[in-house]
Each structure stands twice: as structure tokens, then as C-alpha cells.
Amino acid sequence: MRLLRGAWKILVAIKDGLVLIFMLLFFWLLYMLLSFSPNPAVPSSGALYMNLNGTIVEQPSEPAPVEVLSGTADNLREYRLRDIVRALDAAATDDRITAVALDLDGFLGGGQSAILEVGDAIERVREAGKPVIAYATGYADSGYALAAHASEVWVNPMGGALIVGPGGNRLYYGDILRRYGVTANVFRAGQYKSAVEPYTENQMSPEAREANQALADTLFEIWREDVARARPDADLESIIAAPADTVEAAGNDLSRAARAANLVDRVGGREAWVARIAEIAGEGVGENSPGFQAVPLANWIAANPAPTGGSEIGVITVAGTIVDGEAGPGTAGGETIARLIRRATEGHDFAALVVRVDSPGGSALASERIRQAILQAAEEEGDIPVVVSMGNLAASGGYWVATAGDYIVAEPSTITGSIGVFSIIPTFEGTLDQLAINADGVATTPLSGEPDIFGGLSPEAGRLLQAGTDDIYRRFLSLVSGARNMPAERVDEIGQGRVWAGATARQLGLVDRFGTLSDAIDIAAERAGLDADDVSAVYIEPEPSGFAQFIQSWAGASEPASSSPRDIWTRLSPDPRAVLATARAEMQMLLDGPVMQARCLDCPVETGTARSHHPPMDMSMSTMIAAWLFS
């Protein structure tokens, strides 16, 4: 009995402790709700403090609230492109903003089209007569593409600026898969559909090398032209062609080399940069002040919402990998987007639709689901015009979705095309042989037990998979042919899975004109017979849950006083976590499907920690096999 009484006391103590914890959590959340302000105050004047500690994306993903509350969530942020542009445009015309402090110490980049659009917005601030003063410990390609548009570019004495340019290596798994007896059964349509090569080869094919080199050269030329226009006196050639010689000529001092090449205006520490901004905006007050009178970016965005009123144009966002079923922000779930479009058209009377695509593609089935939902919405609204706006990426399944549009707008640096399809199924007959495991069974038809991942695909199954892949490619060609008023033979010629920059895609007829999302909305208004000044955009996209929004807003309510500095070598070296995350994701795609995909895996993607996610705890059989392969 004494033992039972002791156990009972322990159980009661545990119960009381849990109740106490619950009550404390309840009152803490209640306090946060009562003290939370959805529209943070904006000072009467000051410098817009753009402390970009993360990446610029089309649609931020949603971190798990538990990770935010527990402090395990990544501190790096994802900034919505249109919010950044709207904030800069508002700063250009608002007298409360006296300057823009562009803090790029923690900036991890973004797609090239997004960077160029923000650079143009910075130019508009300067044209309004307001200085933009940039600072970083070290500049690489994306950061410098923004800084080049600033009035003054500062660099830390222990930092510098180096230009890498597009390119680099990727992992090829063909040999290791063969070593462990895994067969990657690949079926593809398109000579350049090289997304599956990493699973079958140990190096890049000549066709893939040709296509990737042409794309990288085009993108780099666009980057150089933009930076040269923004900073015509900069000696880009020396720092690009002979960086070691340039640095050695400056006494091995990277910051002096950057100044000598006129890539930067001032060499100085953060304190000197802060003092320079304080000369314009005034001294900062308060414990969390960065040292000058600052208007935090989050507060400014909240104080300057997107305009409303007039005729409405629906903007459908297709951002991230296209997947079947439901998905949250940052991933394009076919069913999620179709449902959002249906609900939006039920609650609004749209004059036109704009489809904003920033996706490397994914599931062919989900791509078609989204395309059909767009066409149905346009028809139900009275056959209204549909204009497609391409962001950083609109490739493969992303271009599939774009065929729903009457008119396509892209940026010269948009990565598009990749009109091709592939199917891939791994089988493990060799793995089982190594483990001395045999698979056997019975069959009633040629397809019984197919696809047989234990014994390998039968010739009949292989023929059917190739036939299905060819059929999806034929459908893809037909969609593009009809949408672009182009013979299917010509589409096949420029298709074949090849990836194009927007500048080339326009010459090929895959794009109608260059422009931003704002330009696409204006075009949609014009095609609907409306004045662009008399329309407002209604964004149709998945929103974070209310609780997640509150947790994120509370956790990020105050801007940090400064970013975490990253020296130039840290910026140039790949994050090992991102490399491993990419390898895991590629193996996950091989093992878990979908089998048939319209996806561009050759397209450059953001692999920084701001886009990385913790893997789920539950592991499928195929995931466990992948873990064994890489153990």
C-alpha cells in the first residue's frame, strides 16, 4: 500500500505540474494576444531600415508554430518580393522617409529576376532624391546586384566583393546507385530533359552541358549589363576575369581591391555606416535602435498595404514545386490552388486574371489541374482575359500552367521552357541480391505485380511507361502549340526539355513581352478595357493559418538591431547543410515520386537554410532505403 500511495502522489504531482504549465502557457498567449498590434507604429520620420536577413521569394513558406515557440525555427526570413517593391515605392513618395538603410550583412539572395526588380525599385527611390546607403561585410553576386543600385556602397574593412557568376557542380548518383544495386528506370521525352541524368550517370551529358552553359552565359550577361548600368564606373572586368591578380595588386586586401575597382564607395565598419545614416535620418533612441532614427521594414510594409478599390483583377500565385493534393504557402498544391480559385471567383467579380508563376514545375497531373481551374474560372467570369506573369522560374510544369494565358509577360532573366516530361521508378533487384533476399510470386496478367520494385520492371511495363511519358509530352506540345499559335513541330524543335532564359524565350515566341507583375496587371486591365489606375489586385494564394500568422508576427515583431555578419568566404562557400538537404530531397523525389513529372531539376533553386525544412519524423520504406544507401 505504501508503494501505491507513493505512486499516486507522483501521478498527482505530474498532473498538477501539467495543469500549472498549461495555465502559464494560456495566460502567456492571452497576454501576447492583448499586447499584439497588427499594425506597428511608424515613426514620424527616419530611414527605412531594410535589414534583409534571409532571402527574397515570391511566396514565403510557413514555419511550424511549434518550432517558432520552441526557438528551433531558423532565424533567417523569407521576404515577399511584392512587399519589398511596394515598401520601396512608398518610401520614394512619403516625406516621412528620409533615406533607405540597406543592410545586406545577412542577405542570402533570391532569384535573379527578383533581384533585378528590387534593384529597379531602389533606383526609383534615388530618382526621388532620397539616398540609399548599402552595407555588408562581404558582397557576392545577389547582394552586389542590389548594392550597385544604391547611392553609397559600404564594405567592412575585413570584407570585400567577389563575383562568382552562374554555374557550379551538382551531384550525380549513378555509380553509387549501381554499387548498391538500385536501378533507376528512366523514361523521358525530350533530348535535353536531363533532370534524370543524376540518377543514371556519373557526369553531365554533352546535351545537358550545352544547354546549361548557354543558359548560364545568358543570365550572367544580363547580370553584368544591369550592374554596369547602375554603376558604370565599376571595373567589373578585372574582378571577374582576374580576381586574384586584382586582390594581390591591392596588397591582398579584399576591401581595398573592391574600392580600387570602384565596386564600393566607402570602406568602414558598421559603426561608421550607422553614423553616416544618422547624419541624414537623425540619432536613434531606445534600446533596440540600430543607432539611427529607423523605420523598420515590417512596420513600413504593414503601414502601406496594397491599394484596394475599383475593378478587381485576380492574381493567382503558383509558387514553388507543383505537387498533387494540398500544400501550404511556398509550394503549389494542385488541389489547394484549384480550391482557392473557385472560392475567389465565388466571392469576387473579376475583370481579368493574372497568373503569377514562379515554379520549376513538378507533377504533370497537378499542373493540368491548376491549368483547368484557371480556364474554368475565366469562362465562368465571362471569358475574361488571362495574362501570365513569369517570375524567376516558369519552367516545365510552370510553363504548362502558363499555357492557360492569352498573353505571357516575363523578365529577360526568367528561366522558362523545359518543355519535356520524364518518368522514373527505382527498383531494388540488385540490392536484394546483395542482401541474399529473393522475390517470387504468381501472376494472372502481364501487369500483375508491376511495377515490380523487387524483381525489376517487365518489358511490358517498361513499354507502357514510355508510352505514357510520350503521351504526356504530346499533350504538352499540343497545349503550347494552341496557346502560342505555333505548329507542334516547331514547339517540339524548341522544346525537347531545353531550358531558356526569358530573353531567348521571347525571341522563340514562348513569351510575348518583358515586364514585371505590375506590368502584367496593367496589361490585364488594358485587355479588359479598363484604366490601369482604376483597378486593384486581389491575390489568390494560400495564407498561413491564423495561429501561425500570430506566432510569426509576434516572433518577428521587432527587427533585430543588425544582421549576423557573413564574411565574403562564408558567402561563397556552399552551406553543407544545404548540400545535404538537396541530396536528400533528390533521393526523396526518386523514391517517393510522383512517377511522371514535368519538372526542371536543372533550374537553379534556392538552397539556403531559409528554404530548408526539417525532414518529417515518419519515414516511408523508400525513405529508409535512401537512408541506408547514404549511411
- Summarised one tens digit per residue, pLDDT across range 521-580 is 999 999 999 999 999 999 999 876 655 555 555 554 444 455 567 777 777 776 676 677
Give the model confidence (pLDDT) of 566-622 as tens digits: 777 777 776 676 677 777 777 777 777 677 788 886 775 543 333 433 333 333 333
Helices (H) and strands (E) in the chain, counts: 25, 23
Contact partners, residue 465, CB within 8 Å, separation at least 6:
185, 187, 423, 425, 451, 457, 595
What share of residues in the chain are helix, strand, coil (percent, to 5)? 45, 20, 35
Residues recognised as catalytic: 193, 396
Contact 433, 400 (CB under 8 A): no
Q: Cα dihedral sign for 393, 398, 403, 404?
A: negative
pLDDT for the residue numbered 594: 74
Task: Report the length, in residues, of the chain.
Answer: 631
What is the rounded CA–CA span in Å between residue 471 and residue 7? Answer: 68
Nearest Cα neighbor of 235 from 122, 152, 154, 148 is 148
Strands 294-296 and 386-395: unpaired
State the DSSP string of 5-48.
HHHHHHHHHHHHHHHHHHHHHHHHHHHHHHH--SS----SSEEE
pLDDT for the residue numbered 614: 33
Element (H, E) at 63: none
What's the grid cell of residue 403? 499555357
pLDDT for the residue numbered 74: 52
pLDDT for the residue numbered 31: 53
Residue 564 DSSP class: P
pLDDT for the residue numbered 284: 83
Nearest Cα neighbor of 563 from 115, 132, 110, 107 is 107
Which residue positions in the chain have pLDDT lower than 50? 35-37, 70-73, 556-560, 606-631
pLDDT for the residue numbered 618: 36
pLDDT for the residue numbered 152: 97
Question: Model's pTM, two decimal places?
Answer: 0.86
Nearest Cα neighbor of 57 from 135, 139, 142 is 142
Q: Which amino acid is at 277?
A: I
pLDDT for the residue numbered 112: 95
pLDDT for the residue numbered 497: 87
SS (H, E, C) 241-262: HCHHHHHHHCCCCHHHHHHHCC
